[in-house]
Amino acid sequence: SSRVVEIQSQMSERAVELLGLPEDRPCLLLDVGCGSGLSGDYVSEEGHYWIGMDISRAMLDVAVEREVEGDLLLADVGHGIPFRAGMFDGCISISAVQWLCNADKKSHSPPKRLYRFFSTLYTALARGSRAVLQLYPENSEQLELITAQAMRAGFTGGMVVDYPNSAKAKKFFLCLFVGTSGTLPKGLGTECADGEETLQAKFTNERTRFRNAKGKSVKKSRDWILEKKERRRRQGKEVRADTKYTGRKRRPRF
């Protein structure tokens, strides 16, 4: 339904935002559990390239019919990510990774399948890049199982929870850093009315502190704005001069 499509594309947009991709060049992304390619459409719109993996032939057939721009691969990510080392500038996944927690066959061991997935994903990602995996965990044990296997495979980072106080809008994004650590982005809607942060479960590694994964300034901060203006100037675009007001928040007017 159109509502599902809408939610799917909102989550894709948020996942790509959390990747913190460089703005000055197109990137190659891996889309895990790409389905009919809805998340890929957003990646293409943003000017990036993608390869999608999915276990469902029927879903990939729909993606082919829809003439998506990405390349498609029919595969079970529980068997690992079959791409060469450092190939991708990032990975997104919308509502897929929790399926690795299910043992569909007698031979399936969820921890092993998760570890196989995360360790081969780690290898396939370029150093300094990120994977952002939106998932619907059944319970906190599942969340911890998934996160523990990601950390075992070498990732740092943790869970970003958007709208943690809303039953309907609450979304979990596992935000993972490769090779360099960054500051975990803040979840949307995590500020309470009095400006206090709500406490969320954080699985972080002490190495993750200042600035984000690529050593870039936090989005919308003064530094970020100044860097963006500087990039625009270098591209020969007309940009307003910097003043003491650059990057300041406007006061609400009543």
Confidence of residue 214 (pLDDT cuts 50, 70, 90): low
pTM to 2 decimal places = 0.74
Is the pLDDT higher at 219 or at 29? 29
Tell me: do 168 and 226 sit in the same domain: no
- Cα–Cα distance measured from residue 88 to residue 179, given in angstroms and rounded to the nearest whole number: 14
Domain that holds residue 150: 1-203
Q: Which of 98, 99, 150 is nearest to 125 (CA)?
A: 150
Tell me: do 63 and 32 sit in the same domain: yes
For residue 248, what pLDDT is reported?
A: 78
Residue 170 and residue 164 in contact, taking contact as beta carbons nearer than 8 Å: yes
Number of domains in the chain: 2
Residue 105, in any domain of the structure:
yes
Burial of residue 203 (number of CB atoms within 10 Å: 0-12, 13-18, 19+): middle
Tell me: do 53 and 26 sit in the same domain: yes
Neighbours of 8 (CB within 10 A): 19
Residue 22, in any domain of the structure:
yes
Tell me: do 162 and 223 sit in the same domain: no
CATH number for the domain spanning 27: value is 3.40.50.150
For the record, the structure tokens of 169 come out as: 């809008």
Tell me: do 157 and 226 sit in the same domain: no
Q: Angle formed by the axes of helices 38-45 and 2-19, to 10°?
A: 50
Q: Which of 163, 181, 203 represents a domain boundary (last residue)?
A: 203
For residue 203, what pLDDT is reported?
A: 46
Q: What are phi and psi of 18, to 5 degrees?
A: -70, -20
For residue 208, what pLDDT is reported?
A: 37
Confidence of residue 199 (pLDDT cuts 50, 70, 90): very low
Buried b (16+ CB within 10 A) or exposed e, 225-243: beeebeeeeeeeeeeeeee
Residue 53, in any domain of the structure:
yes
Tell me: do 24 and 116 sit in the same domain: yes
SS3 of 21-43: the string is: CCCCCCCEEEEECCCCCHHHHHH
- Measure CA 221 to chain center: 21
Tell me: do 228 and 136 sit in the same domain: no
For residue 212, what pLDDT is reported?
A: 52
Tell me: do 196 and 221 sit in the same domain: no
Confidence of residue 8 (pLDDT cuts 50, 70, 90): confident
Is the pLDDT higher at 184 or at 123? 123
Residue 212, in any domain of the structure:
no
Tell me: do 145 and 233 sit in the same domain: no
Is the pLDDT higher at 224 or at 138? 138
Tell me: do 131 and 12 sit in the same domain: yes
Is the pLDDT higher at 58 or at 137? 58
**Residues 6+ positions from 5 with CB-CB distance below 8 Å:** 38
Q: Which of 72-86, 93-107, 123-137 has the lowest mean pLDDT?
A: 93-107
Confidence of residue 181 (pLDDT cuts 50, 70, 90): low
Q: Which of 162, 180, 203 represents a domain boundary (last residue)?
A: 203
Taking residues 67-76, report their average pLDDT: 96
Taking residues 70-74, report their average pLDDT: 97
Residue 211, in any domain of the structure:
no
Neighbours of 156 (CB within 10 A): 22
Taking residues 223-236, report their average pLDDT: 78
Cα-based angle 106, 112, 115 (whole degrees, multiple of 5) = 150
Mean pLDDT (the chain) is 86
Residue 123 has pLDDT above 70, yes or no: yes
Residue 226, in any domain of the structure:
yes
**Residues 6+ positions from 234 with CB-CB distance below 8 Å:** none
